[in-house]
Amino acid sequence: MRRFFFFVVTILALSLFVSCKNDKSVQNTGDEVYVMQLDAKDTIEVFSLTEKYLDYLKQGNLDGALSMLNYLDSDGKIQPVPEKVAMRHRSTLENFLGLNYRIDHVTFLKETDCELKYVATLFEKKEGDNRPNEIGFYIRPMRIDGKWYLTLADYFSDTHESVIKH
């Protein structure tokens, strides 16, 4: 119940933040300035999709998590992740299954160029343990024809290069 309450409060805070920004995401992408129209619904939908994906990972349900990931083909159409790429991503997820997951940040730039970083806690640290116990992953939420999808953020599946700077 506490986790659900935290999720709702986080979504409301982010919704307020997005709403206070004039419902636009402005980014200078070189010579032009691109303005992505956003509202609270967009933020809520992206966070909801991601929370479901992270819940699958926390439960060890890799099939469920992988079924939520998509691929934007070179024609700009959303497709299921190709089997070869899905197998590679499954292997990565198996090697870094976490105890807990949290959203670190989300960047909205344009419909096909957004970024969400999530962090997996791999093991509980004991007092005095200086080993890193977290690892970060990126996914790319994309809004295609008004609907949000989660896509992989890797060079195997990227057909549209990101201009988001880390």
CATH code at position 18: 3.10.450.50
- Tell whether 70 is covered by a domain: yes
- Tell whether 157 is covered by a domain: no
- Tell whether 164 is covered by a domain: no
pLDDT at 163: 52
- Tell whether 48 is covered by a domain: yes
Q: How far apart are CA 116 and CA 24, in angstroms?
A: 18
Q: How far apart are CA 147 and CA 70, in angstroms?
A: 12
- Tell whether 126 is covered by a domain: yes
Domain containing 40 equals: 2-152
Under 8 Å between Cβ of 101 and 120:
yes
Under 8 Å between Cβ of 119 and 136:
yes
pLDDT at 73: 85
Under 8 Å between Cβ of 125 and 133:
yes
Per-residue pLDDT of the chain (166 residues; tens, 9 = 90+): 445 444 433 444 444 344 334 344 444 555 555 667 889 999 999 999 999 999 999 999 999 999 999 988 888 889 999 899 899 999 999 999 999 999 999 999 999 889 999 999 999 999 999 999 999 999 999 999 999 999 988 654 455 555 555 5
- Total structural domains within the chain: 1
The residues that bridge with 27 in the sheet, in sequence order, are 34
